[in-house]
Amino acid sequence: MNLTDMVRSFAAERIRPAAEDLDATERFPAEIYQGMGELGLFGITVPEADGGSGGTVADYVTVMEELSYGYASIADQCGLVELVGSLLARFGTAEQKKTYLPDLLAGTKRCAYALTEPQAGSDLGALSTRARRDGDGWLLTGEKIYIHNAPVADFAMVLAVTDPEKRKRGGMSMFLVDTALPGVTRAYHEKKMGQRASQVGGFVFDEVRLPAHALLGEEGAGFGAVMSVLEKGRLGIAALANGISRAALDTAREHARSRRQFGKPIAEFQAVAFSLADMATDHAAARELIRHGADLLDGDADAGATCSMAKLFASEASIRTTSRAVQILGGAGFIRGVEAERLYRDARITTIYEGTSEVQRLIISRSLL
């Protein structure tokens, strides 16, 4: 069984049947994540020597689309582990890798990727969370918001300012922060529009004492490090969005074939058929952009603009496809518990996280000009 078939089978058997309940209860599905860990679906591009699958970016985006077709929140967790696992594999010491990677990739240890702050989202240069030296270690103070897994994380990769004069030009560093440490508070647990099984909340760090070995990578190299994984992260969200689009197309097509009005299936009305055609075209075009970006990253080529194009197009296409699915289902598409209604809500965040559509347009335009 190839990778696509394996993930597609897992999504059909373990994820899709649970999606409605997970959306309703907002439950953290630890059992699904453990199953993904057993299949090697966490850390797709993390080297085998570090416990990962040693796959390509092309493999990663394939996994993300198939998982998202099952339920986007599950793919979101895969993307989170991919980013944190990649940073650990690339910048971690042998001891850090030994401490965090095995359980993280097995799906039994929960991570968070703590960048965003009340006044710093797209502009990471405006971070105010501060880590200052204290003897052999560090004292961490600040607040992070809208952090995936914050309510359940065992540890967080936290980006903090270590030199206020330099900031993103050599004044930011990454830290591995165990959430059980004194001074770490899980500030809130957000209630979200969509992708409701993805736990989102905040951290408050009040003079948290960190040991010297909590520093991930070199001091001052944090901003560049997190930027180094953003292109892969954007492709992952593009693939997640495209999984939503494919699910929307399939549920709309099934409804159009079975729903009869004026004596025939509504699929036979040109207005509905053309809408399905537009949905299929959006999905296919997004997939080609995503694959092109993955090929560039796998070939160590400049992929910045292409990854931004893929993320921009796929995320905005998911808004269009899910809206069309709701329209084709009519009143049924507006009812909680119907797949099209959930997909419509799940798609909305894809134009915002991992860089808003506006940020992607900025990156693309700068590459042109």
Supply the CATH number for residue 362's domain: 1.20.140.10
Task: Give the β-pairing of 172-178 and 215-216.
Answer: antiparallel
267 plus 310 within the same structural domain: yes
**C-alpha Rg value of the chain to the nearest Å:** 21
The crossing angle, in degrees rounded to 10, of helices 339-348 and 304-329 is: 150
Distance CA(135)–CA(130), nearest Å, equals 16
Q: Are 286 and 238 in contact (CB under 8 A)?
A: yes
210 plus 244 within the same structural domain: no
Angle at 200 between CA 351 and CA 240, to 5 degrees: 40
234 plus 307 within the same structural domain: yes
Distance CA(184)–CA(143), nearest Å, equals 10
289 plus 361 within the same structural domain: yes
CATH number at residue 100: 1.10.540.10
> Whose CA is closest to 317, among 368, 357, 366?
357
86 plus 118 within the same structural domain: no
3-state secondary structure the chain: CCHHHHHHHHHHHHHHHHHHHHHHHCCCCHHHHHHHHHHCCCCCCCCHHHCCCCCCHHHHHHHHHHHHHHCHHHHHHHHHHHHHHHHHHHHCCHHHHHHHHHHHHHCCCCEEEECCECCECCCHHHCCCEEEEECCEEEEEEEEEEEECCCCCCEEEEEEECCCCCCCCCCEEEEEEECCCCCEEEEEECCCCCCCCCCEEEEEEEEEEECHHHEECCCCEHHHHHHHCHHHHHHHHHHHHHHHHHHHHHHHHHHHHHCEECCEEHHHCHHHHHHHHHHHHHHHHHHHHHHHHHHHHHCCCCCHHHHHHHHHHHHHHHHHHHHHHHHHHHHHHHCCCCHHHHHHHHHHHHHCCCCCHHHHHHHHHHHHC
> Whose CA is closest to 8, among 38, 39, 29, 34?
39
Q: For the chain, what is the domain count?
A: 3
Distance CA(90)–CA(106), nearest Å, equals 19
191 plus 211 within the same structural domain: yes
247 plus 345 within the same structural domain: yes
> pLDDT tens, 173-182?
999 999 999 9
pLDDT confidence of 356, banded at 50, 70, 90? very high
> pLDDT tens, 198-256?
999 999 999 999 999 999 999 999 999 999 999 999 999 999 999 999 999 999 999 99
Which of 192, 223, 254 is the last residue before a domain boundary? Answer: 223
Which of 191, 223, 255 is the last residue before a domain boundary? Answer: 223
12 plus 45 within the same structural domain: yes
pTM: 0.96
Distance CA(215)–CA(169), nearest Å, equals 18
358 plus 242 within the same structural domain: yes
16 plus 56 within the same structural domain: yes
> pLDDT tens, 68-124?
999 999 999 999 999 999 999 999 999 999 999 999 999 999 999 999 999 998 898
The range of the structural domain enclosing residue 66 comes to: 3-109
pLDDT confidence of 367, banded at 50, 70, 90? very high
247 plus 348 within the same structural domain: yes
66 plus 152 within the same structural domain: no
User: Is pLDDT at 340 greater than 80 in this prediction?
Assistant: yes
Place of tokens 């969509």: 194
- pLDDT on residue 201: 97
Catalytic-labelled residue, pool 65, 66, 143, 354: 354
Q: Which amino acid is at 201?
A: G
Mean pLDDT of the chain: 97
User: Is pLDDT at 1 greater than 80 in this prediction?
Assistant: no
Which of 92, 109, 126 is the last residue before a domain boundary? Answer: 109
Active site residue 219: no
Question: Token pair for residue 238?
Answer: 């593009």
